[in-house]
Amino acid sequence: MIYALLTPKWLAAYLFTPILYQIARFLIVKFSPDYLLPASANDPNYAAQFSNAGAGIFHGQIVNDAFCDLILSRIKQHENSDVVNQITQANSMHKNAILTNEIGLEPFISSFTNFFFKKIAPDVLPGALLKTIDSIHSYVVRYGISLDRDLGFHVDDSFLTINLCLNDGFVGSDLQFEGQRCTTHIDTLSGEHERVLIKHKKGKMILHHGKNRHYVETIRKGERFNLIIWCQNKSERAQWFDATKNQKCPDWCSYTS
In a domain, 80, yes or no: yes
pLDDT tens by residue, 217-244? 999 999 999 999 999 999 999 988 888 7
**CB neighbourhood size of 122 (10 A):** 12
pLDDT tens by residue, 161-188? 999 999 999 999 999 999 999 999 999 9
**H/E segment holding residue 70:** helix 65-79
Distance, CA of 29 to CA of 105 (rounded, Å): 7
In a domain, 60, yes or no: yes
What integer pLDDT is reported at residue 16 of this predicted model? 44
Distance, CA of 20 to CA of 205 (rounded, Å): 31
What integer pLDDT is reported at residue 83 of this predicted model? 58
Question: Domain total for the chain?
Answer: 1
C-alpha dist (Å) from residue 170 to 218, 232, 246: 11, 30, 44
Looking at residue 199, which CATH number applies to its domain?
Answer: 2.60.120.620
C-alpha torsion sign, points 216, 252, 158, 227: positive
Over 80: is that where the pLDDT of 189 sits?
A: yes
In a domain, 252, yes or no: no
pLDDT tens by residue, 86-126? 566 788 788 899 999 999 999 999 999 999 999 999 999 99
Q: Which of 245, 195, 243, 203 is nearest to 226 (CA)?
A: 203
In a domain, 62, yes or no: yes
In a domain, 257, yes or no: no
What integer pLDDT is reported at residue 40 of this predicted model? 55
In a domain, 214, yes or no: yes
Range of the domain at 117: 3-246
Over 70: is that where the pLDDT of 25 sits?
A: no
Helix, strand, or coil (residue 215): strand
**CB neighbourhood size of 153 (10 A):** 12
**CB neighbourhood size of 69 (10 A):** 16
Over 90: is that where the pLDDT of 157 sits?
A: yes
Averaged pLDDT of the chain: 86
Residues 6+ apart with CB under 8 A from 50: 58, 59, 60, 124, 207
Q: Which of 230, 227, 209, 224 is nearest to 174 (CA)?
A: 224
In a domain, 61, yes or no: yes
In a domain, 185, yes or no: yes
What integer pLDDT is reported at residue 12 of this predicted model? 37
